[in-house]
Amino acid sequence: MKFYYVLLVLFLFTACHKDKKSDFSADEKEILSFKFEEDLHPTLLSQDMEGTVLNAEIILTASEVIDVSALTATFEFAGEGVYVEQEKQESGVSTNDFSKPITYEVRDKEGNSKSYQIKVTTLPDVKSEVPHIYITTDGGVPVDSKENYVEADIFIDGKEVYHDFEGRTKIRGRGNDSWNQPKKPYKLKLFDKKELLGLLPGKKWILRSNYRAESLMLDAVAFRIASLLDMPYTHHAVPVDITLNGEYMGSYTFTEQKEAKSNRINVGDEGLYLNLDTYMHKPPGLFYSEFFDLPVMIRYPKFKDFSPSEVESELERIKNDFEIFEEKVAAADFPENDYLEYFDALELVNYLIVYNLSLNQEINHPKSTFMHKHKDGKYKMGPVWDFDWAFGYDANINQHFTTPEDPLFVTGDLTGKVFFEKFLEDPEIIGLYKERWNWFRTNKYPMLIQYIEEYAEVIEGSYALDYEKWEQGVGDAETAAQELIDWLDQRTAYIDGYIAEL
């Protein structure tokens, strides 16, 4: 897959502001709008740069890489006058140094005042080729909760590759361990289904933060492995830059919400979508399975759609359905029974290849391990998700690309490990595993390496901006991609030997 992008035009931030008041009372003191006009700075600006008034702050982000040490502000206000360090300011005339925050003071007729700190953000002289998403919450409130959404304006600059988008959204935090990192992941919920960045229409979208990922592409690579294996549903990965409330937040992966929908995880009206995860969420849609003690969260159907009298019967129905299959796997005559009438062998093998090649050992716990089925169909593994701790991640040194020869299944009796390793007792699964791996290794692995190289080229500028912001990674996308490729080459050599010995 080849990406074509145009060069980045850094952020023009459009503020919501009131019209200038011609009459005001004695106690009014407020800046209504604030901007730097192109007409007053013809050699610096190619367009007006408008500020966002957030309580006692006004935030502007440069639309080009410019010298902000001598800019003339145009502003509207209510009050007697506006001052900077006792010097009265005249809109469109007074010039100040905005290379550091300065304070504008609005005074009323009684001498009372209100102060605004003016912050002008300038980004490094780096061009990013990826789409840029600008989100401004109502009132500039922070996004500091995983439970509560805040409403916001959203603008997507598609860089003339994707359609631009402007509208309203809700935003909240998301994730478990990743929410505790300095660079936060987010979930967006639009008010209507929209096609964004070339993806099929939906309301809910995910912004993966990639804080730990030195290459900023671990999820994207895992998704690509799954798509090369033709798994029935695989997320897409669109690299984007994010600015939230006027602050550049870094390079993110934009992708679909994991949900049962006809154009996402399509299980039909009466199918099931399950998550095996030790991070058990709120009841009632969860249970521990009888035979392997697996933590099962029911993602679909949604229990909020049931009346209180229906919840218990629906939970029992789903639990029984799962345990009919699970009992076959636990039975003494496994694998010489009909368990594959209930479970899709090919999708299991595809799933194991993705997780083995990426060394995503979270399958052992299990965490973020998903299954789905149509009403009368077989259970299928997928979609694949969450690769922060994969690709040889060592938490002790906060680094990926270690231990390329570690086994996928760890020692001990973790429930996910016991359950999934059980299938490798079946000669049919082993034979299919060998066949599928050898096919992937020969036909698809070179395509994966090409994808990584092209992805790194696309995110080069975005990577540099992210590194400037967070100082995470190795400094440039090409070096990070090569580290990933070198590790994958070692990993494939390990799996060649592992497969041969099965």
**Tokens at 77, concatenated:** 């206000």
* pLDDT (0 to 100) of residue 139: 86
CA dihedral over 246, 247, 248, 252, signed as positive or negative? negative
The 8-class DSSP code of residue 399 comes to B
Q: Which of 409, 408, 354, 364 is nearest to 232 (CA)?
A: 354
| Torsion angle, alpha carbons of 385, 146, 394, 398, to 10 | 130
- Architecture field, domain 30-121: Sandwich (2.60)
Decide: helix, strand or coil at residue 117: strand
Query: Which one, of 304, 259, 260, lies nearest residue 284 by Cα?
Result: 304
126 pLDDT band (50/70/90 cuts)?
Answer: low
Closest to 226 (Cα-Cα) out of 345, 355, 388, 344: 355
CB 276 within 8 A of CB 293: no
Q: Which of 25, 27, 77 is nearest to 53 (CA)?
A: 77
- Residues 472-491, mean pLDDT to the nearest whole number: 95
The closest alpha carbon to 331, from 277, 291, 302, 276, belongs to: 291
State mean pLDDT over 86-98.
94
Q: Return the sign of the alpha-carbon dihedral for residues 125, 126, 127, 133.
A: negative
Q: What is the pLDDT of residue 101?
A: 85
Q: What is the pLDDT of residue 177?
A: 84
Average pLDDT (217-230) is: 97
| Inter-CA distances, 278 with 86, 257, 324, 337, Å | 60, 20, 22, 29
Which of the four pLDDT bands, split at 50, 70 and 90, describes residue 124? low
Phi, psi of 196 (to 5 degrees): -120, 135
pLDDT in tens, 224-281: 999 999 998 999 999 999 999 988 999 999 999 999 998 899 999 889 999 999 987 7
Write out the two tokens for 398. 């906060």
When pLDDT is cut at 50, 70 and 90, the band that residue 16 belongs to is very low
User: Which residues lie below 8 Å from residue 471, measured CB to CB, with a gap of 6+?
Assistant: none
Per the DSSP assignment, residues forming a β-bridge with 251 are 241
Q: Tell me the average pLDDT across 45-73.
A: 82
pLDDT at residue 406 tops 60? yes
Residue 111, φ and ψ in degrees, nearest 5: 90, 0
Residue 8: per-residue pLDDT: 28
Contact between 303 and 318 (Cβ < 8 Å):
no
Query: What residue type is assigned to position 136 of the chain?
Result: T
Coil vs helix vs strand at 314: helix
Q: Which of 273, 281, 284, 264 is nearest to 322 (CA)?
A: 273
Q: Where are the strands (E) in 122-182, listed by range?
A: 132-137, 150-157, 165-173
**C-alpha span between 84 and 68 (Å, rounded):** 17
Report whether pLDDT(482) > 80. Answer: yes
Q: Residue 23 above 60 pLDDT?
A: no
3 state SS of 82:
strand
Q: 335-383: per-residue pLDDT in tens?
A: 999 999 999 999 999 999 999 999 999 999 999 999 999 999 999 999 9
3-state SS of 350-385 is HHHHHHHHCCCHHHHCCCCEEEEECCCCCEEECCCC
pLDDT tens for residues 345-357?
999 999 999 999 9
Tell me phi and psi for residue 194, to 5 degrees. -140, 150
Q: Is the pLDDT assigned to residue 208 strictly greater than 50? A: yes
Residue 325, pLDDT > 90, answer yes
What length is written for the chain? 502
pLDDT at position 27: 60
Residue 111's region, left for phi above 0, alpha for psi from -120 to 50, else beta, is: left
Task: Report whether pLDDT(304) > 90.
Answer: no
Residue 210 has pLDDT above 90, yes or no: yes
pLDDT at 147 over 50: yes
What are phi and psi for residue 115, nearest 5 degrees? -105, 145
Mind listing the pLDDT tens digit for each residue in 423-472? 999 999 999 999 999 999 999 999 999 999 999 999 999 999 999 999 98
Q: What distances in angstroms separate CA 100 from CA 64, 118, 122, one per listed residue?
A: 17, 9, 10
Instruction: Name the pLDDT band for 17 (thresholds 50, 70, 90).
Output: very low
Q: Are 202 and 263 in contact (CB under 8 A)?
A: yes
Which residues are CB-neighbours of 293 under 8 A, at least 6 positions away?
Answer: 415
13 pLDDT above the threshold of 90? no
> How many of the other CB atoms lie within 10 Å of CB of 334?
15
C-alpha distances in Å from residue 42, one per residue of 37, 71, 109, 440? 9, 11, 36, 56
Position 59 pLDDT exceeds 90:
no
- Asked which of 203-212, 280-289, 388-397, 463-472 is least confident by mean pLDDT, the reply is 280-289
Q: Where are the domains of the chain?
A: 30-121, 132-256, 272-501
In this structure, are strands 295-300 and 238-244 parallel, antiparallel, or unpaired?
A: unpaired
Q: How many Å is the Cα radius of gyration of the chain?
A: 27
**How much is the mean pLDDT over the chain?**
90
pLDDT, position 123: 62
Query: Cα–Cα distances in Å, from 87 out to 83, 95, 96, 106, 472?
Result: 5, 11, 11, 11, 43
